[in-house]
Amino acid sequence: MSFRRLGAIFRKEARHILRDARSLGLALAVPLLLLLLFGYALSLDVDKIPTMVYDRDHTPESRELIRQFSGTPYFQIVGYAERPGHIDREVDFSRVLLSVVIPEDYGKGLRAGREVQVQLLFDGSDSNTASIALGYADALVQSYSLSLRSAAQIKKGGGEFKNVVEPRIRVWYNSDLKSRDYIVPGLIAVILMIIAALLTSLTIAREWETGTMEQLLSTPVRPSELVLGKLSAFFALGLTDLLVCLVVAVFVFDVPLKGSVMLLFLSSGLFLFGALCWGVFISASTRSQLMAYQMGTLTSFLPAFLLSGFIYSIQNMPVVIQAFTYLVPARYFVVVLKAIFLKGVGWRVLWVELAFLLAYAAAVFVLASRKMRQKIA
């Protein structure tokens, strides 16, 4: 391998990137735009659940139950129904997720010490949000029921009623349970995969369409030198995108970076190199920029977004899909990013994921070099 020829290819690609101001601007602006858009718009936090109350009792006891719902940030009472038809209408227009129906004899039953029932109606069209809201409502009702039972026990002359088992909950690594701290690190992996694969998937195809590939074939440049030379320029651009993403994640979204910055850049470099090689492999496999762009999108964005564990839990996927996710490099990089950002762990914990990223980068580089050798031959 000649470093002189390698440097010549690098300078050629660097000049091409700098001359194409529109593509350079998009390559730098798109990661920032995606990070801001997904970081602000994509949230898994469920709070201020729109709630409607149908109080058929109108007693101090029923009003106290309503205050329990309005006094928590998870529920927001948006109206009071006068008849059951109001609930149906609000649910049909998706203005209400939860409806609390208090029966007529609610207060009378509590004063008599009987067990009373309260109906909770959920809009199940959004099953994920409804299941989380169900958990919140069930915990609130259980806690309120325990306080009523304890008050009744004291009133009868007994001691305060307590649970036999009292949980003491402590959340590690993301104590406030902010979905943003969970989403933004994984989003960096998706952005790098998209940008790297799409940028390089067009480079070889563009050479064939513009006719400059024939000129490269007349030079003594080897396939591995051609691949590495082209990758070097895009690798520098990818590291710039990574730096932009890190600055936005830490200083705009306040995501804690507890781990080693050096390990973060090392793992990012492995992932970025593999993604760039995959883009070159796609570009060398087809001579059409349109086909290369479509293949790059299909093999980079969709797997990284859907099968990496970025949002959707891999453990909840079918067994066949879970097995397929082991071929998605973004899966390992998402684990590394979240571990470095939130847990602050090092290579002793992440060596398996780093080994997979290294193996992926080496394998795809070999594939890209062989494909280029076949094209040149």
pLDDT of the residue at 158:
58
Residue 228 above 90 pLDDT? no
Banded model confidence at residue 214, pLDDT cuts 50, 70, 90: low
User: Percent of the chain, pLDDT > 70?
Assistant: 85
**Would you say residue 377 has pLDDT above 60?**
no
> Over 90: is that where the pLDDT of 198 sits?
no
* Mean pLDDT, rounded, for 253-259: 88
pLDDT tens figures, 132-183: 888 889 888 888 888 887 777 777 665 555 666 677 778 788 777 777 888 8
**281-306 mean pLDDT:** 79
213, pLDDT greater than 90: no
At residue 182, φ and ψ (nearest 5 deg) are -85, -35
Check pLDDT > 60 for residue 226.
yes
The domains found in the chain, sorted by start residue, are 3-43+178-376 (no CATH), 49-155 (3.40.1710.10)
Q: How many angstroms separate the CA atoms of 358 and 341, rounded?
A: 21
pLDDT at 331 over 80: yes
* Stretch 93-97: mean pLDDT: 88
pLDDT tier for residue 101 given thresholds of 50, 70 and 90: very high
Structure tokens at 188: 């960096």
pLDDT digits (tens, 9 = 90+) for 118-128: 899 998 887 77
Say whether pLDDT at 296 is over 80: no
Confidence of residue 92 (pLDDT cuts 50, 70, 90): confident
Residue 28: Cβ-neighbour burial (10 angstroms; 0-12, 13-18, 19+): middle
Q: Cβ contacts of residue 279 below 8 Å, gap of 6+?
A: 196, 197, 198, 199, 200, 201, 203, 234, 296, 300
Provide the token pair at 203: 């480079």
CA-closest candidate to residue 304, choices 280, 347, 281, 337: 337
- pLDDT-based confidence at residue 215 (cuts at 50, 70, 90): low
Q: Is the pLDDT of residue 355 over 90?
A: yes
Q: State the average pLDDT over residues 4-8.
A: 70
